[in-house]
Structure 1
């Protein structure tokens, strides 16, 4: 869907987050989302996804569910993050509830709970894969960013 995107690193300062939003894209896919205090030296600031993220951070509802996200990780982690992508804007679930959304996972399994928490913590694309919507799980975003994203969505 986003094949027109030029590969590269893009970053834009967010007044709401009080830091930069930096994205990595290639072949029309989102590879990474991060929130550095200083962006990569060669990062450009003009990208349609940064426009959407900026609008989201200004209060526009967006699930980013139409984006093609590179899910190049272990299969179990990919299953978890794919389930996280289905959590609607302004809704949250617990790790246990998320386990019930992941094929072949058991909400009562301690091992599956650990696997879910690890997948959330290692999420390469927080915000686009909205790990901040898992109320009792870690987020790959820095804690101040996670709290602002949760606040923005009323969670």
Structure 2
């Protein structure tokens, strides 16, 4: 993706700044707050991208994210996207949108829903590369025992996002690298 056609916008979620990135074609990334992004290994400096509030308003994403972070059920399925990934990754990310607000699916259920029941690990890997957390709700995917297992933004962030949707009592037992 050419930096010349990318734009950024800051939004507030959980009283912290998140960075939204888009092209003229659609939303391409949602970056966690700086402290979380650093812990998750994001190194790109998005501050050099120009702002374009009119573009984000045209996509209707800012209002929806603000309502979402205020605890209102919001759908993102008609927001134009411009995500980069392999065809398999994009198919996994599209399948994430089928998980209803306030519900969770296991990685196995995701693979089954895609008619790829033997691809559980590949599905999990693709979910882990999701460039649009919240918009493509990867936080709604949990381990086969119902426990929180992984999230690039950290298990505490995943737990908080799920709690916002009314999914409570989740146990963050995932891999140590996600425990922040």
TM-score tier by shorter-chain length is 0.7 to 0.9
Matched residue, 1:56: 68
Give the gaps of 5 or more residues in structure 2: 36-44, 144-148, 168-180
| 1:148 Cα offset (Å) | 1.3
Q: Which residues of 2 match residues 1-150 of structure 1 at below 5 A?
A: 7-14=6-13, 16=14, 18-37=15-34, 40-42=46-48, 44=51, 46=53, 47-48=56-57, 49-103=61-115, 105-106=116-117, 109=118, 112-136=119-143, 138-150=150-162
How many residue pairs end up in the alignment?
Answer: 143
TM-score w.r.t. length of structure 1 = 0.80
Kindly state the Cα deviation for residue 144 of structure 1 after the two structures are TM-superposed.
Answer: 2.9
Distance in 1 separating the partners of 2:88 and 2:150: 17
Q: TM-score, normalised by structure 2?
A: 0.70
Q: Which has the higher helix share?
A: 2
Q: Secondary structure at the match of 2:19?
A: strand
Please, which runs of 5 or more residues in structure 1 have no aligned partner?
1-5
Bigger relative contact order, structure 1 or 2, given CA contacts below 8 A and separation 6+? 1
Q: 1:45 to 1:22 in 2, by over 3 A?
A: farther
CA RMSD, Structure 1 to Structure 2 (Å): 2.3
Q: More deviation in 131-140 or 43-52?
A: 43-52
